[in-house]
Amino acid sequence: MCSKKKSNILDVLKKRNINRFGIFFGIAFIFLIFSKLSSDYNQLIKLKIQFTDLAEEIIIKEDTSNVIETVVEAKGFALVPFIFNNTETILLNANEDVITNADELVFEVQKNSYLLEEQLGSSYKIRSLKPETLHIPYSKRASKFVPVELKTNIGYTTGFDIKGDFSLSQDSVKIVGPKDEIKDITSVVTNELKLTDVNTNINTTLKLDDIENIEVFPKSINVEAEVKRFTEGKIEVPLTIINKPQNVLINYFPKTVLLSYYVDLESFNLIDSSDFIVECDYSQVNDNQAYFVPKITKMPEFIKRINIKQKRIDFIRL
């Protein structure tokens, strides 16, 4: 019985000793950390320059040209925030702290190191700066209007098609960006309007494609189109010979051509042969050529597609 009690007492003492050792070890480790963090260290920090009071027309690109590499001396405590991110933002007044040239902003780093120290705070002492002078290129903002280019991929139900053209809420948009970049932009393309099996009117909103470094106003437009049932029609139209010298006599065959066209049902009965003109241009004929190539020079605007059955008109000189 006594041996069991002694064994229990020893176990308790061992556990207490282990706990005490853990506590003392933890306290020692904390003192060690505090001791290390209380020491002075040198640390490389990247200072990213941003500007206040910058003129609206000036655009600065985000690149390495606006970064200063600095070595600072500070207590370990002060350097803890830079363990995972060694970048700090510095604000400079564009009207007071830098020199504005025709195409760049110049910041004399060494001369104005006090501005950097003020924003870093009294806990940090700057030991070195690189480069000595910062050259930050910029471009001037400009704007202009460019046409909208509609991108479509539409499949219609058999016998249906769009009547006329698509109607856009805006046929041109304003683009704003660096002058040297927007000068080469001639249009802005919409996101693709992709539809299948369409047999009703189209009315939707499309976003405009993003352009890097360029702002587009507005960012979307409304697109409408009238969709109707269509049918095919045929009509015979007399030929007209143009630019034939008066002293030249010819005979040609055939005298008429057959046109096939695609038109909406509502307009089908409105079509007459007088709505079309098909011409053969004598001035386009080579000396050894004995045929014309007929061309349609007039037709109703509401016709969707049209085709001439006769691709060539034979003739002889008399």
DSSP assignment of 4-61: HHHHHHHHHHHHHHHHHHHHHHHHHHHHHHHHHHTSEEEEEEEEEEEEES--TTEEE-
Contact at 8 Å (CB) between 216 and 227?
Answer: no
Contact at 8 Å (CB) between 106 and 134?
Answer: yes
Contact at 8 Å (CB) between 161 and 230?
Answer: yes
Contact partners, residue 109, CB within 8 Å, separation at least 6: 68, 116, 129, 131, 132, 133, 134
pLDDT above 90: residue 213 = no
pLDDT above 60: residue 116 = yes
Q: For the chain, what is the mean pLDDT?
A: 85
Contact partners, residue 73, CB within 8 Å, separation at least 6: 40, 41, 42, 43, 124, 125, 127
Q: Phi-psi bin for 243: left (phi > 0), alpha (psi -120 to 50), beta?
A: left
pLDDT above 70: residue 282 = yes
**Average pLDDT of span 59-75:** 80
> How far is the C-alpha of 147 from the C-alpha of 141, rounded, in Å?
20
pLDDT above 70: residue 185 = yes
Per-residue pLDDT, 102: 82
Longest Cα pair distance anywhere in the chain, in angstroms?
Answer: 147
> How far is the C-alpha of 213 from the C-alpha of 217, rounded, in Å?
14
Per-residue pLDDT, 27: 55
pLDDT above 60: residue 288 = yes
What is the identity of the amino acid at 281? D
State what percent of residues in the chain have pLDDT above 90.
Answer: 48
Per-residue pLDDT, 139: 82
Q: What are the φ/ψ torsions at residue 20 (nearest 5 degrees)? A: -65, -40
Q: What are the φ/ψ torsions at residue 284 (nearest 5 degrees)? A: -95, 5
Write out the two tokens for 84: 């995972």
Q: Does the predicted TM-score (pTM) go above 0.85?
A: no
**Which of 79-83, 124-128, 176-180, 190-194 comes out lowest in average pLDDT?**
79-83
Range from 47-51, 76-80, 122-126, 289-293 that averages highest in pLDDT = 289-293
Residue 20's pLDDT band, with cuts at 50, 70 and 90, is low
Using alpha carbons, select from 228, 216, 226, 202 the residue that is nearest to residue 170.
Answer: 216
Residue 259's pLDDT band, with cuts at 50, 70 and 90, is very high
Residue 11's pLDDT band, with cuts at 50, 70 and 90, is low
**Average pLDDT of span 87-109:** 88
**Which of 131-145, 240-254, 278-292 comes out lowest in average pLDDT?**
131-145
C-alpha dist (Å) from residue 111 to 23, 99, 107, 154: 52, 13, 9, 64
